[in-house]
Structure 1
């Protein structure tokens, strides 16, 4: 059964179509793209880290890969980017 997309309008007036119940406006998300290691991640992966309170590489290094993958919105495609960012700053994921 296919989901039909519905037209929505965000508080900033952007109109967009979505088939899920995700309330995030794609246009607002583009405008809010951060810098640093977060900029290399997809929006769902970035929001997953932010929701878990992970805002720095130092904080990220206290987690194992397995723990990060359990976060809702985090996918396997984000791990190489995170590993590279950690390595660049002299960190790594915690061993399981």
Structure 2
């Protein structure tokens, strides 16, 4: 017998589950040895190792040359304030949401 909760083939969210949304806090630079600026990344991932790998891939794809990741945590609910609320919604939809501060 196979129920929805037993079916490992369903993507996150299809069986009524909310995917785990991680927030990764660190600093980035657009060039090697450049000035580091704060960044927050919100991402849906099954575990923290995957979240870190996807975060680094996304930062590289967005033109960041260096990243120092300081903290990782799970968000239990949508943040109340922008830009994190929109980023959380984007992460729920499968996007890697990068909030870069100048």
* Alignment TM-score > 0.5, same fold: no
- Per the normalisation by structure 1, the TM-score is 0.29
More strand by share: 2
More helix by share: 1
